[in-house]
Amino acid sequence: MELKSIILAAGKGTRMKSETPKVLHKIMDKTLLGYVLDNVKNIVTESFVIVGHHAEEVEKFVKENYASAKTVLQSPQLGTGHAVSMVCPQLENYAGQVIILCGDTPLIKEETLKKFVEYHNSVNSDITVMSTIFENPTNYGRIIREKDNSLKCIVEEKDATTEQKAVKEVNAGIYCLNWDKIKLAFSQLKSNNAQGEYYLTDIIEWGKTQNLNVNAYILEDNAEIYGINSRINLAHATKMMNERKLQALMENGVTIVDPSCTWISDDTEIGQDTIIYPSTYLEGKNKIGKNCKIGPFAHFRGSVEVADNVKIGNFVEVKKSKIDSNTNAGHLSYIGDSELGSHVNIGAGTITANFNPLTNTKSKTVLKDNVKIGSNSVLVAPVTVEEGANVAAGTVITKDVQPWTLAITRAPLKVIEGWVKRFIK
């Protein structure tokens, strides 16, 4: 059955104390909303992002990055049930399933969502809520079950009785719905609660009155539904995501010398027997091959592809570049918007000058196989250094260099005999 998603991303995020919409805050240079959209894009045919606070910014982000996603404006913002109702006109004739998520929960995994939908289908459910267990469930809506263990309702904490507040199973905020059976609910929700809002959770009680099959799926790892409401939450989620990533890499044959000071984005792939040295920071989307040595103090800024047997050493920054096998950039260099061949050596202090601040444009540097770049050289892009060419230390390259040649721009050395002694006198 076809599956679409609705992502709730209209909130202001007051506790973030920021002019940036909450869902556009970043973890390892990727937005919170981006994580959620990426985690559903392989299981749904279309996503609807509900926008509200700073709607134009969120709309721009979605339009520029996700072709299969649309934005829907919620104004005024009258609760989560009201938010979903904004999509009803666009799904009027849709008879498939809908999964509903929050745009501020970046830790949810694609495989978890797949299992959730599979469970929904396996029990022939009409409404399935994802739940999880917290020893301290404060601030979460409680899952209230019938005597036969089926789902009865969800009660928000501010509306819960003392007995209901003692329940440790909570609403994880993710739903799977058979849309043609549930869509009518969004025109019949009531706002008779403490907040005067239309709760998405009330579709559970509505479904029960319609004799629909209503269930709850328990998520084992409650960290996956950790929501971001403050900068403290953001820092904590970043740490959790990083620890999860490092553990997965180590289990797959990557050596992380010191996990306590290594940061690797969820979108970075690393091959077996590669060693990541301490204080390395790899953000964005990158692909690193086998038997590489990265760091210490290396920084990848995204869109970096590194083949096998490559060394990127201390204080080397790489951005939007492709580096072929057996190439070394040992220390103190910047490689940006570049393509490096195999068996290339980058001397210390080498800079690819890729940005023109007058035209606000970036250009490409190409170093073919077996090129050797001497220390403290500057490669002013656009420029190509052909196969086997050598660039002498301290050289500024402003035009293409032919194969197997030596390129050098250096003032002649001048030695003044006796200068030091005369100066001291």
pLDDT tens figures, 90-136: 999 999 999 999 999 999 999 999 999 999 999 999 999 999 999 99
pLDDT value of residue 100: 98
The string of pLDDT tens digits covering residues 251-304 is 999 999 999 999 999 999 999 999 999 999 999 999 999 999 999 999 999 999
Q: Which of 198, 225, 252 is the last residue of a domain?
A: 225
According to the model, what pLDDT value does residue 195 have?
A: 77
Which residue has tokens 């601030």? 139
Residue 56 lies inside a defined structural domain of this protein? yes
Q: What is the pLDDT of residue 169?
A: 96
**Residues 219, 295: one domain?**
no
Instruction: Tell which of 225, 255, 275 closes a domain.
Output: 225
CB atoms within 10 A of CB 246: 18
How far apart are alpha carbons 115 and 123 in whole angstroms?
Answer: 12
Q: Say how far apart CA 345 and CA 414 lie, in whole Å.
A: 29
Residue 158 pLDDT more than 90? no
Q: Which two tokens stand for residue 128?
A: 């399935």
| Domain-located, residue 418 | no
Q: Is 144 left (phi over 0), alpha (psi -120 to 50) or beta?
A: beta
Q: Are residues 221 and 235 in the same domain?
A: no
149 and 28 assigned to the same domain: yes
The whole-number pLDDT of residue 147 equals: 84
Q: How many CB atoms lie within 10 A of CB 124?
A: 9
- What is the average pLDDT across 139-168? 89
- pLDDT value at residue 270: 98
Whether 193 has a pLDDT exceeding 90, the answer reads no
Average pLDDT over residues 385-404: 98
**Do residue 135 and residue 78 come from a single domain?**
yes
- In sign, the C-alpha dihedral spanning 224, 230, 233, 239 is positive
Q: What is the pLDDT of residue 149?
A: 82
CA distance 324 to 344: 8
Residue 320 lies in a domain: yes
CA dist 264 and 294 (Å) reads 12
The reported pLDDT for the residue numbered 17 is 95
**Does residue 125 fall inside a structural domain?**
yes
CB 168 within 8 Å of CB 135? yes
Q: Could you list the residue range(s) of the whole structural domain that residue 168 is in?
A: 3-225
Domain assignment of residue 365, yes or no? yes
pLDDT confidence band for 12 (50 / 70 / 90): confident
Q: What is the CATH number of the domain that holds 247?
A: 2.160.10.10
Within-domain flag for 425: no
- Contact residues for 420 (Cβ-Cβ < 8 A; gap 6+): none
25 is catalytic: no
In a domain, 423, yes or no: no
Q: What is the mean pLDDT of residues 234-255?
A: 98
Q: What is residue 55's predicted lDDT score, i.e. its pLDDT?
A: 96
CA–CA dist 215, 309 (Å, integer): 51
Mean pLDDT rounded to a whole number for the chain: 95
The arithmetic mean of pLDDT across residues 235-253, rounded, is 98
3-class SS at 413? coil
Question: What pLDDT is attached to residue 373?
Answer: 98
CATH number at residue 162: 3.90.550.10
Q: Are 284 and 207 within one domain?
A: no
What integer is the mean pLDDT of 229-242?
Answer: 97
Same domain, 193 and 124: yes
Asked whether residue 210 falls in the same domain as residue 248, the answer is no
Side-chain-facing half-sphere of 55: CA atoms under 13 Å:
13
What is the rounded distance in angstroms from the CA atom of residue 330 to the CA atom of residue 414? 31
234 phi and psi angles, rounded to 5 deg: -60, -45
Name the catalytic one among 82, 120, 331, 343.
Answer: 331
Please give the share of the chain, as a percent, with pLDDT higher than 90. 90
The verdict on 290 and 217 lying in the same domain is no
pLDDT of 31 higher than 80: yes
> In terms of domains, do 176 and 253 share one?
no
When divided into structural domains, the chain yields a total of: 2
Query: Do 55 and 25 fall into the same domain?
Result: yes
The pLDDT value recorded for residue 249 is 98
Q: Please give the radius of gyration of the chain, using alpha carbons only, rounded to the nearest integer.
A: 28
pLDDT reported for residue 150: 83
Distance from C-alpha of 120 to C-alpha of 124, rounded to nearest angstrom: 6
340 pLDDT band, cuts 50/70/90, is very high
Percent of the chain with pLDDT over 70: 100
The whole-number pLDDT of residue 182 equals 96
pLDDT at residue 181 greater than cutoff 80: yes
Specify the residue for token string 């036969």.
148
Residues 199 and 279 in one domain: no
What is the number of alpha carbons within 13 Å of residue 179 lying toward its C-beta? 22
Domain membership flag for residue 373: yes
Last residue of a domain, one of 191, 225, 259: 225
SS3 for 188-218, per residue?
A: CCCCCCCCCCCCCCHHHHHHHHCCCCEEEEE
Q: Is the pLDDT of residue 49 over 80?
A: yes
Same domain, 175 and 41: yes
